[in-house]
Amino acid sequence: MDKDDWSFGESWRVEPSDPTWTGTQTAIKEQRVEEWDDETLVLGIETSCDETSASVVRGGRDILSNVIASQTELHGEYGGIVPEVAARAHVEALTPAIREALVRADATFWDLDAVAVTLGPGLIGSLLVGVAEAKAIASVLDIPFVGVNHLEAHIYSNFLGNYSAKWPAVVLVISGGHTMLVHARGHGDYEILGGTLDDAAGEAFDKVARFLGLDYPGGPEIDRLSLLGNPDAVRFPRSMVGEPGFDVSYSGLKTSVTNYVRRLEYEGNEINVADVAASFQQAVVDIEVAKTLAAVDHTMVDTLFLCGGVAANSGLRTGLEKACLDRSITLHVPPIELCTDNAAMVASCGTALLRRGIYTSLDAAPDPNLPLK
Ligand code: KG4
Ligand code: ZN
């Protein structure tokens, strides 16, 4: 549907705050999406992986609340995410999270202008929980429902509370499920320049951490331990760095770490886990900084967005900050709590979609492999 064909004129919602409201009437909200002002309130819902999150965002940029119920303790004993456990935990946590998000935002359901939810990619059982609840809320309130791509939502974490973030930009999306470099020319105008050929960076962090006997999730553990270790202690390979293109690969690096540790064990030598963690992290940082700078050069943009769970990594943040400073590139890095999965970024992305007249049918099904387009 063309965006001009759709307006809120068709949409009805109850207004219990209206003194003439008797409990049976409805009122028309006539404001068109294109004219949404900074007061627009969107409820975001995120359940694609192991974080249950609900958030109320005003005008696509101001976070009124961002409730995140993490399942890390539940999955910790298994050393990784168990999809069935994740889906069941979302069922329990989502409704209280939404209630809490509304309370913290000092809002009611009737203040909401739309509901945005992650439609994919992610774990199908987990996605279904959020999508079903978002559809129920949207249909009861008769407000627009918008399904959001999780990767696009990560990109929008750069716009939350940050009015200086502007397109076009190169975006490094680096998380537990994905690692890719994107040339983002504007809202919805994305070109994927390259990505991982095997593990996502976060996945490599988690697997190496598990091998080193650290807790789940491994990324923050390696990050913490790296501060105590020497990043130059072991020179692990920086695969594909000298090669053209923007793809990366982590399987060789992972194997090098395990081979190194096993060799020391075999030789009866003591292993300095902090040095191994710091050296591994430094290899990841060097690979990502090199490929990201190459992408910036290639696209000739002067803005870089960093996002995704691994964007919380202190080494990566420092490495990119330094590299960008040296080259006069404007770097935007979301605060740590917006790097990992959260519903505020979903609400922000959903608001941008709705402003362009894009919304989702209530028939839409979640897609575990939803591509970024
Ligand atoms: O974006 P996210 O919350 O979920 C996905 O969409 O995948 O990312 C989770 C990933 C996990 O692999 C976790 O280990 C990693 O982000 N991560 C980190 C750090 N914090 C989270 N990796 C390295 N350093 C960190 N500080
Ligand atoms: Zn994510």
Write the DSSP string, 42-69: EEEEE-SSSEEEEEEEETTTEEEEEEEE
Pair 326, 346 in one domain: no
Question: pLDDT tens digits for 79-134?
Answer: 888 899 999 999 999 999 999 999 999 999 999 999 999 999 999 999 999 999 99
- Does a structural domain hold residue 361? no
Is residue 360 assigned to a domain?
no
Q: What is the CATH number of the domain that holds 112?
A: 3.30.420.40
177 C-beta closer than 6 A to ligand 1 = yes
Distance (angstroms) between ligand 2 centre and the Cα of 172 equals 13
Given this model, what pLDDT does residue 37 score?
60
Domain identity same for 100 and 193: no
CA of 310 to the centre of ligand 2 (A): 9
Residue at 363 is within a domain = no
Q: Is 147 in the pocket of ligand 1 (CB under 6 A)?
A: no
The domain total for the chain is 2
Nearest atom in ligand 1 to the alpha carbon of residue 177 is 7
Q: Which H or E element spans position 283?
A: helix 273-299
Ligand 1 neighbour 366 (Cβ under 6 A): no
Same domain, 175 and 117: no
329 shares a domain with 196: yes
CA-nearest residue for atom 23, ligand 1, is 219
In a domain, 367, yes or no: no
Report pLDDT digits (tens) over 314-366.
999 999 999 999 999 999 999 999 999 999 999 999 999 988 888 899 999 99
The pTM for the full model equals 0.89
Residues 150 and 174 in one domain: no
pLDDT of residue 32: 43
CA distance 132 to 324: 42
Residue 39 lies in a domain: yes
16 Cα to the center of ligand 1, angstroms: 42
Residues 265 and 237 in one domain: yes
The answer as to whether 254 is a domain residue is: yes
Domain range holding 143?
3-158+341-355
Is there a domain that residue 365 lies in?
no
Q: What is the pLDDT of residue 166?
A: 92
In a domain, 10, yes or no: yes
Claim to verify: residue 136 and residue 47 sit in the same structural domain: yes
Residues sharing a CB contact under 8 Å with residue 18, sequence separation 6 or more, in sequence order:
27
Residues 80 and 188 in one domain: no
Query: Is the C-beta atom of 175 inside 6 A of ligand 1?
Result: yes
Residues 230 and 329 in one domain: yes
Residues 150 and 192 placed together within one structural domain of the fold = no
**Residue 107 sits in the same domain as residue 194:** no
What is the number of the ligand 1 atom nearest to the C-alpha of 48? 6
Nearest residue (by CA) to ligand 1, atom 21, is 309
State residue 167's pLDDT score: 93
Q: How far is the CA of 173 from the centre of ligand 2 (A)?
A: 9
**Using CA of residue 136, residue 133, residue 107, residue 154, what is the dihedral sign?**
negative
Q: Could you give the dihedral angle defined by the CA atoms of residues 311, 249, 257 and 210, in that order, rounded to the nearest 10 degrees?
A: 50
Whether residues 201 and 55 share a domain: the answer is no
Of the candidates 214, 216, 203, the one whose C-alpha atom is nearest the C-alpha of residue 71 is 216
For ligand 1, mutation pick of 123, 175, 342 (most atoms within 8 Å of CB): 175
pLDDT lower than 70: segments of the chain = 1-37
